[in-house]
Amino acid sequence: MGVKVDDRAQLGATGAAKAPRTARGERTMRKILDAAREEFGERGFAESSIVGITQRAGVALGTFYTYFQSKEGLFQALVHDMSEQVRDTVGPVLGEGVDGLDSERRALAAFLRFAREHRDIYRIIDESEFVDPTAYREHYETTASRIAARLRSAREKGEIDSGFSDKDVDVLAWGMMGANVFIGLRFAVWDDADSEQVAAIMSRVWRQGFGA
Amino acid sequence: MGVKVDDRAQLGATGAAKAPRTARGERTMRKILDAAREEFGERGFAESSIVGITQRAGVALGTFYTYFQSKEGLFQALVHDMSEQVRDTVGPVLGEGVDGLDSERRALAAFLRFAREHRDIYRIIDESEFVDPTAYREHYETTASRIAARLRSAREKGEIDSGFSDKDVDVLAWGMMGANVFIGLRFAVWDDADSEQVAAIMSRVWRQGFGA
DNA sequence: CTGAAAGTTGAACCGTGTTTCAACTTGCGA
DNA sequence: TCGCAAGTTGAAACACGGTTCAACTTTCAG
């Protein structure tokens, strides 16, 4: 949870955050980041205030500006961090499937479990479309192109209908991603349905839809 | 375009808008609504200001409060209106398909054309998730349940694999809707790909995925 | 034609929340 | 142990934009 040490230099480079130089500073920055995730997740960007975040974190108002340039800067740092968390959670299960399409089924189930446990993260990434559009685009473009790459590789192995061109696969990837996101919103964030069961339904559709 | 006469009483009922009583009032309210669609679409909710909207509309600041309770009230009225516009555009083509699944293909193509022509509307509905969550939920729940109803009816006609239960169909409906929304974002709002071609790709997947 | 209801105007009010800053404390390297 | 760099503090300055309101204008039914 939270920003990993290696990332801080990068966050600093984007201008969103200023790296702490001591262990104490590091702890403080972490406290602010964690408090911000809660606050933004519960109240949304507009309703959240720096006062609220620093109070939650148990630090003074002014301390905030030691580590972040602005409220937007903080949000940006947060989105970058969470975008990675989603991938770090979903990524590892991809190798476990018996074939490419089975891996996608597992990935969706993992994503649904993750969404249910981290509704706040889900909401923050969604809200980035309006607070930090670049981060939003980057997140979904990266995600879609990874899906597309996996589908193409499955196609080479003969697991996917070879009638789908590279361009077709891009459309498929965005379609799958969109389906996953909306299903996550409806059946994990709003409700909590059985992740495995929901993933199985869609998996069946994809397998028949473009499996070889 | 804009709020239809019959809707105004309803908008008034939700507390979002106050119905004008004369022809002049009607014109003024319309000007504000149209200006708001532009402003919110271009700048997003937070960056938009009532001053900006009234200036764009060519009316005085105070006039705003003759027709709307607040900035949020205006936004709410707008979302309600656009949610209907999407349906009014997509709805008519549903009867034209040679079968249920062909109708869905046409609906996606119509939706993509609509999204390309009305990028601002697309963005406003998306942003309602944070400005007016109830309106957002209502919009997507209504949309999904209409898709689900059509799929079930197609299933009764034997056009869809009868192995899918009613609950399965709900998942499918949300999946299709999510796919449509993300494909619309990527291939209509951001880019503008050929709507028919994109719709054809997904249609092929759905037909093989759960067609009978 | 007339007057009351509807609509219009924009300066001023006001609340909120971001950002600054100078005094103060802590921690680490020499 | 000392001294300086890093970090902390919170009151106050500040910006911004939503909302109010009382004077004024237009509309339209009778």
Count of A–B CB contacts within 8 Å?
103
Least confident of A8-22, A32-46, A149-163: A8-22
Task: Round to whole Å and give the CA distance between A9 and B143.
Answer: 45
- Please report, rounded to a whole number, the percentage of residues in chain B having pLDDT higher than 90: 82
Q: What is the DSSP letter of A68?
A: B
Q: Which residues contact B78 (CB under 8 A, 6 or more apart)?
A: B33, B36, B37, B40, B124
B174 contacts on A by Cβ (under 8 Å): 179, 182-183, 186-187
Nearest Cβ partner of A205 from B186, B201, B209? B209
- Looking at residue A64, what is its pLDDT? 97
- Looking at residue A15, what is its pLDDT? 57
Mutation pick from A166, A201, A207, A210 vs chain B, by most beta carbons of B within 10 Å, is A201
DSSP collapsed to 3 states, chain B: CCCCHHHHHHHHHHCCECCCCCHHHHHHHHHHHHHHHHHHHHHHHHHCCHHHHHHHHCCCHHHHHHHECCHHHHHHHHHHHHHHHHHHHHHHHHHHCCCHHHHHHHHHHHHHHHHHHCHHHHHHHHHHHHHCHHHHHHHHHHHHHHHHHHHHHHHHCCCECCCCCHHHHHHHHHHHHHHHHHHHHHHHHHCCCCHHHHHHHHHHHHHHHHEC
User: What angle, rounded to 10 degrees, do the helices at B133-156 and B166-184 form?
Assistant: 120
A127 contacts on B by Cβ (under 8 Å): 129-130
- Looking at residue A10, what is its pLDDT? 40
**Six-digit token pair at A191?**
């409700």
Alpha carbon of B24: minimum distance to chain A alpha carbons (Å):
35
Render pLDDT for A102-141 as a digit per residue (tens, 0 to 9): 999 999 999 999 999 999 988 999 999 999 999 999 999 9
User: What angle, rounded to 10 degrees, do the helices at A71-90 and A133-156 form?
Assistant: 20
Task: Round to whole Å and give the CA distance between B204 and A143.
Answer: 23
A183 with B182: Cβ contact below 8 A? no
> Confidence band (pLDDT; 50, 70, 90) for B132?
very high
A190 contacts on B by Cβ (under 8 Å): 137
Task: Round to whole Å and give the CA distance between A119 and A114.
Answer: 8
Q: What is the four-CA torsion angle of A106, A109, A114, A119, rounded to 10 degrees?
A: 150
Interatomic CA–C1' length for residue A26 and nucleotide D2, angstroms: 25
Is pLDDT at B112 greater than 50 in this prediction? yes
Interatomic CA–C1' length for residue B25 and nucleotide D28, angstroms: 13
Q: What is the average pLDDT score of chain A?
A: 91
Nucleotides of C under 7 A from a protein CB: 5-12, 16-22, 26-28
Task: Round to whole Å and give the CA distance between B117 and B28.
Answer: 25
A187 with B206: Cβ contact below 8 A? no
> Nearest Cα to A50, choosing from A66, A163, B129?
A66
Tokens 């014109």, located at residue: B27
User: What angle, rounded to 10 degrees, do the helices at A133-156 and A100-117 form?
Assistant: 150
Task: Quote the pTM value.
Answer: 0.90
- Looking at residue A85, what is its pLDDT? 84
Long-range contacts of B34-40 (CB under 8 A, 24+ apart): B34/B1, B34/B2, B36/B74, B36/B75, B36/B78, B37/B78, B37/B82, B37/B120, B37/B121, B37/B124, B38/B120, B40/B75, B40/B78, B40/B120, B40/B123, B40/B124, B40/B127
- Looking at residue A86, what is its pLDDT? 86
Pick A92 or A81 by higher pLDDT. A92
Render pLDDT for B168-192 as a digit per residue (tens, 0 to 9): 999 999 999 999 999 999 999 999 9
* Cα–Cα distances in angstroms (integers) from residue A199 to residues A83, A188, B169, B207, in the given order: 21, 11, 13, 19
Query: CA A51, A56, A60: angle at the middle one, nearest 5?
Result: 55
Is pLDDT at B10 greater than 80 in this prediction? no
- Looking at residue A28, what is its pLDDT? 97
CA atoms within 13 A on the CB side of A60: 3
Interatomic CA–C1' length for residue B212 and nucleotide C19, angstroms: 63
B202 with A168: Cβ contact below 8 A? no
- Looking at residue B146, what is its pLDDT? 96
Task: Round to whole Å and give the CA distance between A7 and B195.
Answer: 40
**Six-digit token pair at A85?**
């968390």
- Please report, rounded to a whole number, the percentage of residues in chain A having pLDDT higher than 70: 92
Q: Could you tell me if B45 and B99 are in contact, meaning their C-beta atoms sit under 8 angstroms apart?
A: no
Alpha carbon of B32: minimum distance to chain A alpha carbons (Å):
23
**Cα–chain center distance at A27:** 24
